[in-house]
Amino acid sequence: FLQPLHPYERFRRLVDSTFSPAALPDGAAEAPMDADSSGRPLLSEQEVQQFLAALSGLLDEEQLFLDSNLSLKTLAVQLGLHPNKLSWLLNEHIGKNFNEFINSYRLEVFKAKAVDPANSHLTLLALAYESGFNSKTVFNDFFKKKVGATPRAWVRANKG
């Protein structure tokens, strides 16, 4: 069977020498994340505003986040933007990665559905799936991280 290499001193020396700043190409260690290899920003300020507005429209009006199969790539195609640039836009200008950004929309929809008496016949998991989540674990973990309570405890406290 295969054994992990991490415990071996020889492996650690190889990793250290390969990825040390001196072994990397000039400037690679301090290359900014918000620029391409020539140092230019990935998007102009005008493009940033344009794509943020388009993104807001797709999510607020068309509610693409309800599609549990939505991916960075499919959203980028909808926007007419390279996936790497969309990822950069979300990280740099919204401060969230793709999953966190999309799941925050899903979370708000879930919360609205969960307190709506018309949905009292549905389980919390069914409401999570209707909100675009595709995994019970992802839903529960994200909910607890953002709200600070379990979905069931939150619903009990907010149904009225």
What CATH number is associated with residue 115?
1.10.10
Tokens 């409401």 found at: 127
Does some domain include residue 35? no
Let me know the angle formed at the C-alpha of 46 by 61 and 81, rounded to the nearest 5 degrees.
60
pLDDT for 33 beyond 60? no
89 shares a domain with 59: yes
- The whole-model pTM stands at 0.74
| The two three-digit tokens of residue 11, written as one number | 């492996």
CB atoms within 10 A of CB 55: 21
Q: How sure is the predictor about 125, in pLDDT bands with cuts at 50, 70 and 90? A: very high
107 shares a domain with 93: no
What amino acid is encoded at 33 in this protein?
A: M
Does some domain include residue 122? yes
pLDDT score of 30: 44
Residue 52 to residues 20, 25, 47, 108: CA-CA distances in angstroms? 37, 34, 8, 19
Percent over 70 (pLDDT), the chain: 85
106 shares a domain with 92: no
Does some domain include residue 92? yes
Q: What mean pLDDT, rounded, does the chain reach?
A: 87
Domain ranges, residue 115: 101-158
Does some domain include residue 114? yes
Does some domain include residue 84? yes
Bridge partners (DSSP) of residue 35 are 41
Coil vs helix vs strand at 53: helix
